[in-house]
Amino acid sequence: MSDRSVTLCSSEQFNRITLNSPTGPDTYRDGFRFFAGLLGYNNLKSYMNSFCQINMNNFVTTEQLEKYLIEKSAKKEIANYFRRFVYGIHV
């Protein structure tokens, strides 16, 4: 939690911050680093695989992913990390 706040998710529903976006960080690199550090690589891979299988051919939101990861990992503190390192809200 000592790293600076990072915005990986735009507050606009249909706007994405993408790779090397002029409005933000490298989301693929920073997002992977964030999730793997928080959950561990093997857990991340398992959770994302099942999330993708459940939601195949559907649109999903960042909030849905956040809720799913909290439920699967039983780590409620994930919400704090999402606020800071996904939504860019410094708490």
Query: Under a CB-based contact definition with an 8 Å cutoff, are residues 68 and 47 in contact?
Result: yes
How far is residue 85's CA from residue 50's CA, in Å, rounded to a whole number?
23
At 16 the pLDDT is 58
Q: Which amino acid is located at 63 in the chain?
A: E
CB 27 within 8 A of CB 18: yes
For each of the chain's 91 residues, which pLDDT tens digit applies? 456 666 666 666 556 555 555 555 566 677 777 788 889 999 989 999 999 999 999 988 888 999 999 999 999 999 998 888 777 777 6
Give residue 64's domain range: 1-91
Q: Return the exposure string of 59-81: e unless at least 16 CB atoms fall within 10 Å of the residue's CB, then b.
A: eeeeeebbebbeebbeeeebeeb
**Total domain count for the chain?**
1
Tokens describing residue 5: 């706040």
